[in-house]
């Protein structure tokens, strides 16, 4: 009968195989749950831009409002990347537009050369497509996702909820996963992210005992109460059906 | 010893006085073994095997290229578009899943009903089941679009979605149904093969072959205790597989029947789909086994009686689907629902009349030829008719899927579906995948369940010494 059986060392091989299955299974589970975790894959995307525009300087130190450049954010789904003309308002070089001399900030800076080139070309080819600065999109949602900025901005969801403290970023990077879970977490429980729609671009916004928020004479010391107030006041009940975002 | 092996033996009689033999040519136990093992032991397969393998590999290669094209470009390369978002991929899925059902019926239901004639054909039919399920599983797998997240089909918690699949959707039931089917069929097939794999091991002349078959047969010893447990396990698996014959295609039919679309939303679908699945499955078994038995000289094991029995099942199930086609019209009229009536009239006389009547002719009219004994005992005739049945059954799924989607409640959304070359190429290519697997199976594994065939041969009969 022995000739039919496996040799005895196969018994030990069984345990080796079992250990291998556990290790491989663990590896596979790890790949599935952690290695491709959106927090690991998506967060930290920081492309090098053609012009090293510092949000830290403009939005942080100089306190420019987000909407000065991203001016469509309240009325459109898309938050506009400003045309070079917006940059040119300050960095236009020695230009006279409509009889007014534009502000000249760092007119000779080599880092701003793409901006000046773009502006000069725009002047040469009046009425034609200007030669834009090729900014690289940082927060790039998949094509099958519909996201509307105005729907969120007008209902008191701050920029900071999805984009983080852009006013502290030298170069803009993605700090939230922007995965479907990220969206759903807020759509299922929006209170932690709601505030006065007039304060959405205040990235330093704080609420606590030391920094209470007062609305209509009511004093709020916690985000729960404050968010719940605005949820109630603005009548917010976010949709979580598939077709809300996958249209 | 037995009489001449190449004696042509007609065992299709129905004389109640004497049981007709299931192994002809006077083969004894040893000759049964040598007939089956000679296929794998031959230094090279017959020339026709190489030709078929070359064709299959070409088609498989085409399938691979098209799959790559699909995955890189997206599902837009198919003809699926508004309003027919379920085009050929779903048609092919239902077609291939249906094919598999004959194998499970033969191996499980006929086993429980003690139909001894199943023994010669069950192994090949089960193999066909598994390969058909492989082809079937591929289509919904790539139909989801983003293949790399195919595991989202299963209820696995992910950090991407924060959402479960919809447990009320038959599409999720489908994942379970087909997954269970593939698992149980593979287990059943493999476990049933252990004694035969051990025979291959014992006869192997080459050390590597002996090792490979030795590992595959899991150290089968052939002891009485092993056989006792084997028989128990086989019966349990047969009992597990039996409900699957009915449940899998029932749930596939729910994909359609649970929706609201006219032409889909009908209670007749589950039995109608199951009958159609067995119908197409048996046709595929005949299409495969008639050439296979000629190629590997298995005529005395897979006898005319086996083939004739399958032809009879084809007539029976063909009449069932014919009844379903007809009663659907009655129900559409009897329901009094305008859209339902309109959909069925459109099916038979609308822009897809050619598909409908191809289906009806191939599935209802042509199999009636099997009423004639001369037809159902002619291998060539039965292969031709079986191929017609499979064409008809593919068109049945096409008619159900596409005509209903293209003629829904709103005339403004009516359209005419056109497949692209990718649709056609992937369907043809799936035959390449199927045939490649089947040809490899024929060459390297026991095509006939030797141990089981021996159990239905006469023991100590007067024909033996």
Burial grade of B441 (CB within 10 A; 0-12, 13-18, 19 or more): buried
Cβ contact A1–B158 (<8 Å): no
The pLDDT score that the predictor gives to residue B186 is 94
How far is B296 from B299, CA to CA, in rounded Å?
9
Residues in chain A: 247
- Minimal CA–CA distance to B315: which of B376, B273, B393, B274? B376
The pLDDT score that the predictor gives to residue A123 is 63
> What is the DSSP secondary-structure string of B376-422?
HT-HHHHHHHHHHHHHHHHHHHHIIIIIHHHT-S-GGG-------HH
Interchain contact A38–B (C-beta under 8 A):
yes
Residue A167 near residue A55, CB atoms below 8 Å:
yes
Q: Which residue has the higher pLDDT, B458 or B256?
A: B256
- Which sequence spans correspond to the domains of chain A? 6-36
> What is the DSSP secondary-structure string of B89-116?
HHHHHHHHHHHHHHHHIIIIIHHHTT-G
DSSP A102: P
Both structure tokens of B243: 């409900």
The pLDDT score that the predictor gives to residue B291 is 93
Residue B403 near residue B346, CB atoms below 8 Å:
yes
Q: How confident is the model at residue B442 (pLDDT cuts 50, 70, 90)?
A: very high
Which of B146, B155, B159, B215 is the mutation pick for testing A, counting most A CBs within 10 A? B159
Q: Return the HEC string of B127-189.
A: HHHHHHHHHHHHHHHHHCCCHHHHHHHCCCCCCCCCCCCCCCCHHHHHHHHHHHHHHHHHHHH
Both structure tokens of A234: 């603005």
How far is B231 from B458, CA to CA, in rounded Å?
20
Interchain contact A6–B (C-beta under 8 A):
yes
The pLDDT score that the predictor gives to residue A2 is 53
Provide the shortest C-alpha distance from residue A172 to chain B (in Å): 23
Cβ contact A181–B159 (<8 Å): yes
Whether residue B4 is contained in a domain is answered as: no
The pLDDT score that the predictor gives to residue B461 is 53
The model's pLDDT over B114-124, given as tens digits with 9 standing for 90+, comes to 888 888 899 99
How far is B11 from B301, CA to CA, in rounded Å?
11
Both structure tokens of A93: 């070089």
- What's the mean pLDDT when you consider all of chain B? 90
Q: Minimum mean pLDDT among A37-51, A125-139, B229-243, B281-295: which range?
A: A125-139
The pLDDT score that the predictor gives to residue B207 is 84
The pLDDT score that the predictor gives to residue A21 is 96
Residue A97's φ and ψ, nearest 5 degrees, are -120, 125
Element (H, E) at A215: strand A213-215
The model's pLDDT over A71-111, given as tens digits with 9 standing for 90+, comes to 999 999 998 899 888 888 888 766 666 676 666 788 778 88
Over its C-alpha atoms, chain B yields an Rg (Å, rounded) of 23
Cis peptide upstream of residue B83 (ω within 30 degrees of 0) = yes
CA B359 to chain centre: 18
- Minimal CA–CA distance to B194: which of B207, B213, B181? B213
ipTM: 0.73
The answer to whether the Cα torsion of A49, A51, A54, A55 is positive or negative is negative
The pLDDT score that the predictor gives to residue A95 is 64
3-state secondary structure of B456: coil
Interchain contact A39–B (C-beta under 8 A):
yes
- The phi-psi region of residue B271 (left if phi > 0; otherwise alpha if psi is between -120 and 50; otherwise beta) is alpha
Residues in chain B: 465
Q: How confident is the model at residue B1 (pLDDT cuts 50, 70, 90)?
A: very low
How far is A116 from B380, CA to CA, in rounded Å?
81
Residues 6+ apart with CB under 8 A from B132: B96, B97, B99, B100, B103, B281, B284, B434
> What is the DSSP secondary-structure string of A115-145?
HHHHHHHHHHTTTS---------SS---TT-
Q: Which residues in chain A touch residue B163, judged by CB atoms under 8 angstroms apart?
A: 180, 184
Q: Which residues in chain A touch residue B158, judged by CB atoms under 8 angstroms apart?
A: 32-33, 181
Helix pair angle (B170-203, B122-143), 10° resolution: 140
Q: Which residue has the higher pLDDT, B369 or B26?
A: B369
| Facing residue for A6 by CB, picked from B159, B219, B222 | B219
Which of A4, A39, A184, A188 is the mutation pick for testing B, counting most B CBs within 10 A? A4
Cβ contact A180–B219 (<8 Å): no
Which of B74, B82, B158, B165 is the mutation pick for testing A, counting most A CBs within 10 A? B158
Q: Which residues in chain B touch residue A180, judged by CB atoms under 8 angstroms apart?
A: 160-163
- Minimal CA–CA distance to B278: which of B207, B347, B367? B367
The nearest alpha carbon in chain A to B151 belongs to: A32
How far is B22 from B298, CA to CA, in rounded Å?
12
How far is B160 from A184, CA to CA, in rounded Å?
10
Q: Which residues in chain B touch residue A39, judged by CB atoms under 8 angstroms apart?
A: 159
Cα–Cα distance list, B84 to A40, A242, B76, B78 (Å):
38, 20, 12, 11
Q: How confident is the model at residue B107 (pLDDT cuts 50, 70, 90)?
A: confident
Q: Which residues in chain A touch residue B156, judged by CB atoms under 8 angstroms apart?
A: 32
Cβ contact A180–B163 (<8 Å): yes
Q: Which residues in chain B touch residue A5, judged by CB atoms under 8 angstroms apart?
A: 219, 221
| Facing residue for B221 by CB, picked from A5, A39, A180 | A5
The pLDDT score that the predictor gives to residue A105 is 83
Interchain contact A179–B (C-beta under 8 A):
yes
Element (H, E) at A219: strand A218-220
Q: Within chain A, which residues score under 50 in pLDDT? A: 1
The pLDDT score that the predictor gives to residue B4 is 41
3-state secondary structure of A63: coil
Cβ contact B219–A4 (<8 Å): yes
Q: Minimum mean pLDDT among A163-177, B8-22, B352-366, B377-391: which range?
A: B8-22
| Facing residue for A33 by CB, picked from B159, B163, B198 | B159
Model confidence at B432: pLDDT above 90 = yes
Both structure tokens of B330: 């009655």
Cβ contact B160–A179 (<8 Å): yes
How far is B277 from B272, CA to CA, in rounded Å?
9
Provide the shortest C-alpha distance from residue B410 to chain A (in Å): 20
The pLDDT score that the predictor gives to residue A103 is 65
Task: Return the ∠ at Cα B278 (arms to B193 and B306), rounded to 5°.
Answer: 60
Element (H, E) at A101: strand A100-101
Both structure tokens of A178: 């922007």
Whether residue B103 is contained in a domain is answered as: yes
State percent of chain B over pLDDT 70.
97
How far is B452 from B118, CA to CA, in rounded Å?
9
Cβ contact A180–B159 (<8 Å): no
3-state secondary structure of A66: helix
Both structure tokens of A64: 């420019």
Chain pair A-B, CB pairs under 8 angstroms: 38
The pLDDT score that the predictor gives to residue B162 is 83
The pLDDT score that the predictor gives to residue A130 is 54
Residue B84's φ and ψ, nearest 5 degrees, are -95, 80
Model confidence at B3: pLDDT above 60 = no
Over its C-alpha atoms, chain A yields an Rg (Å, rounded) of 26
Provide the shortest C-alpha distance from residue A26 to chain B (in Å): 15
CA A10 to chain centre: 56
3-state secondary structure of B305: helix
| Facing residue for B160 by CB, picked from A1, A10, A38 | A38
Residue B343 near residue B349, CB atoms below 8 Å:
no
The pLDDT score that the predictor gives to residue B158 is 79
Interchain contact A187–B (C-beta under 8 A):
no
How far is B451 from B119, CA to CA, in rounded Å?
9
Q: What are A96's strand-pairing partners? A: A101
CA A181 to chain centre: 15
Q: How confident is the model at residue B230 (pLDDT cuts 50, 70, 90)?
A: very high
Residue B46 near residue B294, CB atoms below 8 Å:
no
Q: What is the count of structural domains for chain B?
A: 1
Helix pair angle (B122-143, B269-295), 10° resolution: 120
Q: Which residues in chain B touch residue A179, judged by CB atoms under 8 angstroms apart?
A: 159-161
Residue B403's φ and ψ, nearest 5 degrees, are -65, -35
Q: How confident is the model at residue B8 (pLDDT cuts 50, 70, 90)?
A: low
Interchain contact A37–B (C-beta under 8 A):
yes
**CATH number, position B220:** 1.20.1630.10
How far is B165 from A206, CA to CA, in rounded Å?
38
What does the buried/exposed string (b/e) look like for B297-329 if buried means 16 or more CB atoms within 10 Å of the residue's CB? ebbbbbbbbbbbbbbebbbebbbbbbebbeebe
User: What integer is the mean pLDDT of B335-357?
Assistant: 92
Q: How confident is the model at residue B151 (pLDDT cuts 50, 70, 90)?
A: confident
Cβ contact A37–B223 (<8 Å): no
| Facing residue for A181 by CB, picked from B161, B198, B223 | B161
Q: Which residues in chain B touch residue A32, judged by CB atoms under 8 angstroms apart?
A: 151, 156, 158
Alpha helices in B258-351 (DSSP H): 269-295, 304-335, 338-349
């Amino acid at each position: 009968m022995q000739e039919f059986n496996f040799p005895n060392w196969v018994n030990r091989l069984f345990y080796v195989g079992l250990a291998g299955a556990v290790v491989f299974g663990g590896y596979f589970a790890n790949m599935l749950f952690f290695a491709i975790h959106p927090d690991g894959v998506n967060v930290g995307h920081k492309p090098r831009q053609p012009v090293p525009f510092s949000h830290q300087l403009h939005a942080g130190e100089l306190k420019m409002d987000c909407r000065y450049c991203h001016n469509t954010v309240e009325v459109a789904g898309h938050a506009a990347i400003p045309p070079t003309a917006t940059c040119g308002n300050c960095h236009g070089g020695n230009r006279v537009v409509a009889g007014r001399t534009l502000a000249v900030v760092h007119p000779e800076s080599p880092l701003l050369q793409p901006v000046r080139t773009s502006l000069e070309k725009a002047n040469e080819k009046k009425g034609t497509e200007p030669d834009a600065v090729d900014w690289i999109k940082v927060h790039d949602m998949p094509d099958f996702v519909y996201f509307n900025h105005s729907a969120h901005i007008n209902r008191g969801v701050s920029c900071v909820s999805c984009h983080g403290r852009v006013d502290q970023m030298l170069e803009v990077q993605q700090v939230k996963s922007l995965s479907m879970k990220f969206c759903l977490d807020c759509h299922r429980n929006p209170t932690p992210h709601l505030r006065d729609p007039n304060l959405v671009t205040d990235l330093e916004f704080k609420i606590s005992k030391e920094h209470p928020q007062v609305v209509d004479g009511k004093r709020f010391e916690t985000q729960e109460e404050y968010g719940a107030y605005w949820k109630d006041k603005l009548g917010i009940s976010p949709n979580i059906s598939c077709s809300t975002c996958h249209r | 010893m037995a009489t001449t092996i190449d004696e042509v033996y007609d065992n299709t009689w129905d004389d109640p006085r004497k049981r007709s033999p299931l192994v002809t040519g006077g083969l004894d136990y040893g000759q049964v073994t040598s007939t089956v093992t000679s296929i794998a032991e031959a230094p090279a397969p017959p020339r026709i095997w190489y030709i078929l393998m070359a064709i299959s590999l070409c088609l498989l290669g085409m399938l691979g290229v098209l799959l790559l094209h699909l995955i890189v470009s997206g599902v837009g390369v198919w003809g699926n578009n508004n309003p027919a978002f379920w085009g050929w991929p779903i048609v092919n899925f239902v077609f291939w899943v249906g094919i598999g059902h004959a194998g499970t019926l033969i191996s499980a239901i006929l086993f429980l009903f003690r139909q001894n004639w199943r023994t010669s054909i069950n192994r090949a039919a089960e193999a066909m089941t598994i390969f058909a399920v492989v082809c079937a599983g591929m289509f919904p797998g790539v139909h989801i679009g983003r293949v790399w997240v195919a595991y989202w089909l299963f209820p696995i918690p992910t950090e991407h979605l924060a959402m479960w699949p919809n447990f009320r959707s038959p599409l999720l039931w489908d994942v379970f149904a087909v997954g269970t089917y593939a698992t149980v069929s593979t287990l059943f097939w493999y476990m049933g093969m252990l004694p035969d794999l051990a025979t291959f091991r014992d006869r192997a002349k080459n050390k590597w072959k002996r090792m490979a078959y030795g590992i595959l047969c899991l150290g089968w010893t052939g002891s009485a205790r092993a056989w006792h447990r084997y028989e128990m396990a086989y019966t349990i698996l047969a009992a597990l597989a039996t409900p699957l014959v009915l449940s899998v295609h029932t749930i596939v039919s729910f994909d359609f029947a649970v929706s609201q679309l006219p032409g889909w939303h009908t209670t007749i679908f589950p039995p109608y789909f199951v009958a159609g699945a067995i119908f197409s499955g048996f046709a595929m078994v005949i299409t495969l086994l008639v050439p296979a038995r000629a190629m590997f000289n298995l005529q005395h094991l897979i006898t005319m009686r086996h083939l004739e029995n399958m032809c009879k099942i084809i007539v029976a199930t063909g009449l069932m689907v014919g009844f379903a086609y007809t009663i659907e019209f009655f129900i559409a009229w009897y329901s009094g629902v305008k859209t339902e009536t309109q959909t069925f009239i459109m099916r038979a006389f609308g822009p897809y009349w050619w598909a409908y009547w191809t289906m009806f002719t191939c599935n209802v009219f042509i199999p009636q030829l099997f009423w004639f004994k001369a037809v159902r005992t002619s291998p060539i005739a039965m292969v031709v008719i079986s191929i017609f049945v499979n064409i008809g059954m593919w068109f049945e799924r096409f008619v159900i899927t596409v005509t209903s989607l293209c003629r829904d409640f709103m005339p403004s959304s009516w359209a005419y579906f056109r497949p692209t070359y990718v649709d056609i190429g992937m369907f043809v290519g799936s035959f390449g995948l199927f045939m490649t697997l089947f040809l490899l199976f024929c060459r390297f594994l026991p095509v006939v369940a030797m141990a089981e065939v021996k159990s239905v041969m006469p023991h100590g009969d007067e024909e033996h010494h």
